[in-house]
């Protein structure tokens, strides 16, 4: 019996969804889920592979014929070291130096020189221009950037392992051009290796020359003053050993000369360090005169050892850069590099501080000397004046000679500091172009596109809000699934012609041994066991949206229940768009609306189905103006009481509950409500709205029926492929229900009588 009060409690045994939010059970990502996702997007993977193969074939057969020319040079310090005046100089880390030379070979300055001397901006083989083109200037920033980018992209410079040799190669469409560019790069690199140290020393020499000019002027002035005093006093008439003031002045003059030499030397060292390459800093100067720098050399030696060990670890066959040992060694390399930079900065700062200290010492001595001179001058001692002038002259002369000697030494040693570069192999025009294997190109692009297709497949799957799998539907709705109903198999025109209207529209009659029919029997069993103590009498079918198959499911389930021997009534509760009467070939002049309106009796509105003796149908009747009011009336409740006494099961088809409220109104009068969801149509938002509506209305939900499932869908392949069961190839027409057999036997007996 249905409940009489719309606010009455839900019958016992009915499944009630929990009042909490959407179920929190989330399936873990696994390999099987990934395989299912890829099977769903198999068309995308096939398309990606086809596009990759096509693009790879296009690249393979249209790849340019590039000619690679290669030259080899050896870079070393050479025999000039033995001619250096300072044999304690340090040459720095060999790996760092050779890598620096590789970077110089691809530097903008060197390649600009090559491009300018070869006029590559106007070379059609280099630019790939067809036909005459206007002349371009390398001074144009756009042209310069384009030419240098092309050179750097096609020029390769690498160290030959475990040697001091560099391999230089260039690729272009012209064999001779490739060889010419490599040879020109080698030539200009050799020129640069000699010119760079000379230019650096030249800048220092220019500053020293300016200092020498000032010293030369001081020497000449001192000499003139001394000669004037000699003529005035004569140099034979005094003894400097008995003059205390003279002795003090001589000491101060000597100290002034030493301080000035120290200041000039410190300033020269500071200016040289400021304009020098940090990698050659320690090999060119001494941090403290007469001592050998050790901290920087030790750090560079440690860095070289760590770099070599890291290269072995990350080389092919090694432990790789992500291994903890490799990461620890990389951190050590970074720390050593920072310490080296700190040490180089300290040396530069030390040179500056030495210069400032020497300058301050010189100024202090000069102040003291000036004070002594003032004292001597105030005494009017011409002899002291002569002594001062002579000492100043000798001091300036010695300083001048010392700086001049250093200048000449620097000019000679500048050439000895240059690297020696020997050409091992000159670049020759290659005989044949270098082509990549067509199979390799096709395979690489195919794999690349396939990986991209896999990524896109997973992205599309994550963006897809539709629900297709049972566990997804159950998780969103927080209620169990009663049955999975597959798509019905279409019959041929000859089979349909031999059937009645009811058989054509009811698959359980047209195909009684099909998997579709078996799924309806499974739904019947689930519904009969859905409530504890007694099977549900009033079974209501609804859906979230139209065209989800609720009317078809309700009609076929009613037929299945009737075939079991129970008296079943199928009610078309959709009084807005009724269609059940068309499925059975019945008229809808009388029906539910006329019974509720009182214009017809219940017996007049109920129609019998000849193909299924135990099944009766109550059509919707004429469409009323206010269906919801009629369905919620007391007359409808009384009608349900009468039908409950007449039939074992009453199956009710209602409109979609998101469209109208009719399904919710009738659902509160039913014993079990089944929500039909069409496979692949509903999304998470729609199902969430339906669930919230059902929870608020308090209808006795029995569960879900997932309808129109594709048998070949990857989502349900495992379910049907592994657990599906059928009657084999036996003739469907050979089977009939017990009720049908009894009905035919009764008809034959009646005919004989």
Between 404 and 631, the more confident residue is 631
- Check: CB of residue 603 under 8 Å from CB of residue 569: no
Average pLDDT over residues 105-114: 89
Confidence at 54, pLDDT banded by 50, 70, 90: very high
Q: For residue 230, what pLDDT is reported?
A: 64
Q: For residue 335, what pLDDT is reported?
A: 86
Average pLDDT over residues 259-265: 82
Confidence at 489, pLDDT banded by 50, 70, 90: confident
Between 659 and 268, the more confident residue is 659
Q: Is the pLDDT of residue 310 over 90?
A: no
Between 363 and 718, the more confident residue is 363
- Residue-averaged pLDDT of the chain: 77
Rank 75-84, 259-268, 479-488, 640-649 by mean pLDDT and report only the highest.
640-649
- Closest by CA to 292, choosing from 301, 283, 279, is 283
Between 731 and 286, the more confident residue is 286
Q: Is the pLDDT of residue 46 over 70?
A: yes
Confidence at 477, pLDDT banded by 50, 70, 90: confident
pLDDT in tens, 160-192: 888 888 999 998 888 888 899 999 999 988 888
Between 202 and 166, the more confident residue is 166
Sheet containing 420-425: which strands, arranged edge to edge?
155-159, 165-172, 67-76, 420-425
Q: For residue 634, what pLDDT is reported?
A: 92
* CA 106 to chain CA mean position, Å: 30
Alpha carbon dihedral 489, 490, 496, 502, in 10-degree steps, equals: 60
pLDDT in tens, 672-707: 999 998 887 777 888 888 888 888 888 898 888 888
Q: For residue 417, what pLDDT is reported?
A: 54
Average pLDDT over residues 124-153: 85
- Closest by CA to 715, choosing from 405, 406, 486, is 486
Per-residue DSSP letter, 134: -
**CB within 8 A of 129, min separation 6: which ones?**
none
Q: For residue 78, what pLDDT is reported?
A: 52
Confidence at 448, pLDDT banded by 50, 70, 90: very high
Q: What percent of the chain has pLDDT over 70?
A: 77
Q: For residue 24, what pLDDT is reported?
A: 37
Q: Is the pLDDT of residue 566 over 60?
A: yes
Average pLDDT over residues 254-274: 79
Between 19 and 144, the more confident residue is 144
Q: For residue 41, what pLDDT is reported?
A: 81
> pTM to 2 decimals?
0.46
Q: For residue 416, what pLDDT is reported?
A: 54
**CB within 8 A of 128, min separation 6: which ones?**
173
Average pLDDT over residues 624-641: 91
Between 714 and 299, the more confident residue is 299
Q: For residue 748, what pLDDT is reported?
A: 43
What is the spatial distance between Cα 679 and Cα 267, in angstroms, rounded to a whole number? Answer: 87
Average pLDDT over residues 612-628: 90
Confidence at 243, pLDDT banded by 50, 70, 90: low
Q: For residue 99, what pLDDT is reported?
A: 85
- Check: CB of residue 532 under 8 Å from CB of residue 672: no
Rank 197-206, 316-325, 731-740 by mean pLDDT and report only the highest.
316-325
- Closest by CA to 245, choosing from 367, 366, 381, 361, is 381
Task: Give the 3-state secondary structure of residue 633.
Answer: coil
Average pLDDT over residues 25-41: 67
Between 95 and 594, the more confident residue is 594
Q: For residue 229, what pLDDT is reported?
A: 66
Average pLDDT over residues 557-569: 91
Q: For residue 729, what pLDDT is reported?
A: 43
Q: For residue 16, what pLDDT is reported?
A: 42
Alpha carbon dihedral 251, 254, 260, 262, in 10-degree steps, equals: -100
What is the spatial distance between Cα 667 and Cα 593, in angstroms, rounded to a whole number? Answer: 18
Confidence at 561, pLDDT banded by 50, 70, 90: very high
pLDDT in tens, 449-468: 999 999 998 888 777 766 66
Confidence at 722, pLDDT banded by 50, 70, 90: very low
Q: Is the pLDDT of residue 652 over 90?
A: yes
């Amino acid at each position: 019996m249905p409940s009489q009060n719309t606010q009455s409690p839900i019958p016992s045994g009915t499944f009630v969804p929990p009042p909490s939010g959407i179920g929190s059970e989330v399936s873990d990502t696994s390999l099987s889920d990934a395989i299912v996702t890829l099977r769903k997007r198999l068309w995308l993977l096939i398309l990606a592979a086809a596009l990759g193969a096509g693009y790879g074939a296009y690249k393979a057969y249209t790849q340019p014929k590039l000619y690679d020319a290669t030259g080899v040079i050896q870079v070393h310090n050479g025999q000039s070291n033995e001619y250096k005046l300072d044999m304690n100089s340090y040459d720095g880390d060999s790996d760092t130096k050779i890598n620096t030379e590789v970077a110089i070979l691809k530097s903008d300055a060197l390649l600009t020189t090559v491009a300018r001397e070869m006029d590559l901006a106007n070379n059609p083989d280099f630019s790939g221009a067809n036909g005459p083109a206007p002349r371009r200037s390398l001074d144009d920033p756009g042209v310069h950037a384009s030419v240098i980018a092309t050179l750097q992209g096609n020029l390769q410079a690498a160290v030959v392992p475990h040697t001091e040799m560099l391999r230089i190669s260039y690729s272009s469409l012209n064999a001779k051009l490739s060889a010419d560019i490599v040879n020109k790069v080698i030539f200009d690199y050799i020129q640069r290796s000699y010119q760079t140290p000379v230019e650096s020393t030249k800048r220092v020499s220019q500053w020293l020359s300016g200092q020498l000019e000032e010293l030369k002027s001081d020497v000449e002035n001192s000499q003139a003053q001394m000669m004037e005093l000699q003529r005035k006093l004569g140099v034979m008439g005094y003894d400097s050993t008995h003059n205390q003031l003279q002795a003090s002045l001589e000491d101060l003059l000597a100290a002034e000369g030493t301080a000035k030499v120290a200041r000039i030397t410190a300033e020269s060292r500071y200016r040289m360090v400021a304009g020098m390459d940090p990698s050659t800093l320690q090999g060119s100067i001494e941090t403290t005169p007469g001592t050998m720098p050790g901290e920087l050399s030790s750090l560079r030696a440690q860095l070289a050892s760590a770099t070599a060990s890291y290269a072995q670890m990350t080389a092919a066959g090694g432990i790789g850069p992500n291994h903890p040992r490799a990461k620890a060694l990389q951190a050590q390399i970074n720390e050593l590099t920072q310490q080296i930079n700190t040490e180089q900065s300290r040396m530069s700062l030390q040179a500056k501080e030495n210069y400032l200290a020497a300058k301050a010492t010189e100024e202090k001595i000069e102040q003291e000397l000036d004070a002594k001179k003032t004292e001597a001058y105030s005494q009017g001692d011409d002899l002291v004046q002569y002594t001062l002038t002579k000492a100043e002259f000798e001091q300036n002369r010695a300083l001048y000679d010392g700086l001049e000697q250093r200048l000449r030494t620097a000019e000679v040693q500048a050439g000895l500091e240059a690297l020696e570069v020997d050409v091992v192999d000159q670049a020759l025009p290659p005989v044949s172009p270098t082509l990549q294997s067509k199979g390799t190109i096709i395979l690489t692009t195919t794999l690349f596109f396939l990986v991209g297709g896999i990524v896109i497949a997973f992205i599309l799957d994550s963006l897809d809000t539709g629900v297709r799998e049972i566990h997804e539907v159950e998780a969103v709705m927080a209620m169990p699934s009663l049955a999975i109903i597959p798509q019905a198999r279409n019959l041929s025109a000859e089979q349909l012609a031999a059937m009645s209207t009811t058989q054509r529209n009811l698959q359980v009659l047209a195909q009684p041994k099909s998997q579709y029919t078996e799924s309806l029997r499974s739904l019947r069993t689930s519904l009969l066991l859905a409530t504890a103590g007694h099977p549900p009498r009033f079974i209501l079918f609804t859906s979230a949206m139209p065209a989800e198959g609720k009317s078809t499911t309700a009609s076929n389930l009613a037929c299945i229940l009737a075939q079991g021997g129970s008296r079943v009534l199928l009610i078309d509760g959709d009084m807005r768009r009724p269609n059940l009467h068309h499925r059975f070939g019945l008229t809808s002049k009388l029906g539910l609306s006329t019974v509720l309106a009182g214009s017809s009796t219940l017996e007049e509105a109920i129609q019998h189905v000849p193909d299924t003796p135990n099944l009766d149908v109550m059509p919707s009747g004429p469409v009323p103006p206010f269906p919801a009011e009629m369905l919620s009336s007391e007359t409808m409740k009384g009608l349900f009481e009468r039908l409950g006494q007449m039939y074992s099961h009453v199956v009710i088809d209602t409109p979609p509950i998101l469209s109208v409220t009719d399904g919710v109104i009738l659902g509160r009068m039913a014993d079990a409500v089944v929500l039909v969801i069409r496979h692949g149509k509903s999304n998470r938002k729609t199902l969430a709205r339906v669930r919230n509506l059902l929870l608020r209305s308090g209808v006795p939900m029995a569960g879900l029926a997932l309808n129109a499932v594709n048998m070949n869908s990857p989502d349900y392949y495992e379910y049907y492929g592994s657990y599906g069961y059928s009657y084999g190839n036996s003739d469907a027409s050979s089977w009939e229900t017990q009720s049908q057999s009894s009905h035919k036997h009764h008809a034959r007996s009646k005919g004989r009588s």
